[in-house]
Amino acid sequence: MKKVLIAEDQAHIRTLIERSIEELEDEGVEILVAPDGTTALSMILVERPDVVLLDVMMPGMNGFEVCANLRNDDGARGAHVIFLTAKGQEYDRARAREVGANGYLIKPFDPDALLAAVRQALGFADD
């Protein structure tokens, strides 16, 4: 079973992200959620999600730290990491690339674009 982990500390945004990709559950994808960076990294190391949607600014551990840590773990480094953040500066994009991000989307996000990015990351053909 394919898995997507949403790492987002703001509950209302987490819900919006879940709703944007919930149709993937009909295709057998399990959606997991983490309210902070520390929990996200723990879940990544145990659950081994295929895709991680990662906020930058989170309590405990920020998204850059989470991504850098998962890239150093043999079992988790293959996860497709998409940053989903309000931080749209080039510095932040460059930092995301440095820690091994596969994608970078800015909030507020287009739900259709998010779903398309996750579908592509999962290797699902476009409908």
pLDDT digits (tens, 9 = 90+) for 29-82: 999 999 999 999 999 999 999 999 999 999 999 999 999 999 999 999 999 999
Assess if residue 51 is contained within a domain.
Answer: yes
pLDDT of residue 54: 97
Assess if residue 60 is contained within a domain.
Answer: yes
Give the H/E segment covering residue 8.
none
pLDDT of residue 100: 97
Assess if residue 92 is contained within a domain.
Answer: yes
Assess if residue 127 is contained within a domain.
Answer: no
HEC string of 64-120 equals HHHHHHHHCCCCCCCCEEEEEECCCCHHHHHHHHHCCCCEEEECCCCHHHHHHHHHH
Q: End-to-end CA distance of the chain, in Å?
A: 20
For the chain, how many structural domains are there in total?
1
Class of residue 73 by CB neighbours under 10 A (exposed 0-12, middle 13-18, buried 19+): middle
| CATH number of the structural domain spanning residue 71 | 3.40.50.2300
Assess if residue 103 is contained within a domain.
Answer: yes
pLDDT of 126 over the 90 cut: no
Model-level pTM? 0.96
Percent of the chain with pLDDT over 70: 98
Assess if residue 73 is contained within a domain.
Answer: yes
Domain that holds residue 16: 3-122
